[in-house]
């Protein structure tokens, strides 16, 4: 899901972490050998599904694997299957979803943003576009 527009104020509102506009991602998990892991971040701690307590770790916020020990804000994790989860967060740090999943023992093999605030991808086909509705704009501005 990519939102494009000419309204700089709206773009800033959507992107800036202070606005707390949530972003939702569907994540496919898999073995480490298939995951693309950034060399500087190091590999995730395990190769299979997430730790049993991953939901509570996401809710508390995780210390990420950078040199500064950055703690990210709380996020929600919903299990959709053994190797599929939905993550909703209000921040947008570099590779944050991949790093949070890695901190819980998983490896990301697929990642798709499915919502930005009230704007949902829904059944929109790949490469297709649609205008943001007035109702969605009002909900974003709240």
Contacts of residue 92, defined as CB under 8 A and 6 or more positions apart, other chains included, come to: 15, 17, 23
Query: For residue 9, what pLDDT is reported?
Result: 82
For the stretch 43-69, pLDDT in tens is 444 445 788 899 999 999 988 776 677
Q: Count Cα neighbours of 103 within 13 Å in the Cβ-side half-sphere.
A: 22
For the stretch 85-108, pLDDT in tens is 999 998 878 888 998 998 888 889
Task: Please state the pTM of the whole predicted model.
Answer: 0.80
Query: For residue 31, what pLDDT is reported?
Result: 73
């Amino acid at each position: 899901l990519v939102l494009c527009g000419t309204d700089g104020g709206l773009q800033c509102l959507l992107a800036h972490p202070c606005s707390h506009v949530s972003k939702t991602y569907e994540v496919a998990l898999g073995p480490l050998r298939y995951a693309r892991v950034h060399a500087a971040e190091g590999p995730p701690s395990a190769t299979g599904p997430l730790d049993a307590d991953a939901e509570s770790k996401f809710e508390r916020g995780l210390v990420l694997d950078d040199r500064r020990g950055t703690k990210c804000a709380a996020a929600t994790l919903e299990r959709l299957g053994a190797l599929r989860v939905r993550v909703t967060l209000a921040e947008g740090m570099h590779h944050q979803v991949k790093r949070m999943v890695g901190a819980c023992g998983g490896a990301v093999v697929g990642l798709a943003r499915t919502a930005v605030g009230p704007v949902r991808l829904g059944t929109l086909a790949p490469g297709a576009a649609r205008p943001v509705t007035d109702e969605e704009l009002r909900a974003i501005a709240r």
